[in-house]
Structure 1
Amino acid sequence: MVKLKHKHDSVTLTLQPNRSANWRQNKIIIMVMAAFVMVIAIAWSVVGVWIILPFAGFEVGLLAFLMYRVSYSTYQKQIITIHSDKVIFQAGVYYPKRFHSFCKDKLSVKTIDAQSEFEQTHITLDDGHQTIVIGQFLNQPDRIATLEHLKKANLHIHIDKWWKTR
């Protein structure tokens, strides 16, 4: 998801992954699956196959852990603030954990176009000293929208195939 916000003399571009379910909805799915698995495991243990109970517990625990990790990664955010003389990059989950500042004159946005429909465009911010990959969690239409917003903000876009035009 790409959001653009204009302030007085700056442009703020917010990049977030698309989220199909929030954490509350994921907890409901985990509880339903846990109840289903435990009903089956208890039924088998009543019949005499009690050895299934630890495996059912492990399965539910693993499902909960993996759904938590996936849900956590969908809350990451990258914020690119473009001022008249500098570009500020912030990234993190829930709050900014990484912070980088670039001089706008020395910054270039380097892109590597997708070679097939199964690949995605690769976008980096580079000033010669530091290179930051942006939008690695975005889908292809959102990456193209991000590039268009960066072009409109008058950043220098360096395309790997300079003879092509977008």
Structure 2
Amino acid sequence: MVYQQQHQEHEVLIAEPNRSASWQANKWALVAMCMLSGTIASGFAFVGAWPILPFAGLEMAALGTALYYVCWKLRYRHVVTFDEQEVRIQKGHYHPRQSWSFERRNTRIIISTKPHPWDAPGISLSHRGETVCLGEFLSKDDAQQLIELLRSRLRVQSHSANTSKDF
């Protein structure tokens, strides 16, 4: 998913993975699964199969951990901030873990197409030999949207076919 925000002194492009459900929705799904599993496990415990109770608890703990991990991974985002003189790129989950600042007039876009038609093109920003990849997690349509938004703000340095195969 790609969207832009306009502020008084700068413009921000944000790229993040698509999410089917928020953390709040996942918590409700986890509560529903815990209630169902607890009801079934209680029924088995009532008829004498009490050893099922710790396994049901472990199963729900594993499900909760997996849901939290997936939601955390999907909070990863790339933020590109443009002002008159500078392009700032930040990457991270809830706050920036990595950050780059480039001079805007010397920053270029590098677009590399992938060999398979379903793959999204590779997008990088380059400044005096330093290259930062953007939106590796984007779908093809979202990557095209990001390219169009970047093209309206920066120059394209190269647009070439990527001959390397990722297996």
TM-score (norm 1): 0.84
1:52 is aligned to 52
| CA spacing shift, 1:8–1:50, aligned 2, 3 Å | closer
**Conserved in 1, the CA contact under 8 Å of 2:114 and 2:120?**
yes
2:165 is aligned to none
Alignment of 1:9-158 (within 5 A): 10-158=10-158
Query: Structure 1 or 2: larger strand share?
Result: 2
Query: Which range moves more in the overlay, 149-158 or 111-120?
Result: 111-120
**Conserved in 1, the CA contact under 8 Å of 2:109 and 2:154?**
no
**Conserved in 1, the CA contact under 8 Å of 2:118 and 2:140?**
no
CA distance in 2, matches of 1:149, 1:83: 14
CA shift at 1:10, angstroms?
4.2
CA distance in 2, matches of 1:103, 1:55: 57
CA distance in 2, matches of 1:26, 1:44: 27
SS state of the match for residue 97, structure 1?
strand
| CA spacing shift, 1:59–1:117, aligned 2, 3 Å | farther
**CA RMSD in angstroms, aligned pairs only:** 2.3
CA shift at 1:145, angstroms?
0.3
CA shift at 1:56, angstroms?
1.2
The alignment of Structure 1 onto Structure 2 pairs a total of residues equal to 162
CA distance in 1, matches of 2:49, 2:111: 58
Q: Does 1:5 align with 2:5?
A: yes
> Percent identity of the aligned residues?
27
Q: Which runs of 5+ in 1 are unaligned?
A: none
**Conserved in 1, the CA contact under 8 Å of 2:108 and 2:154?**
no
CA shift at 1:9, angstroms?
6.5
Q: Which runs of 5+ in 2 are unaligned?
A: 163-167
TM-score (norm 2): 0.83
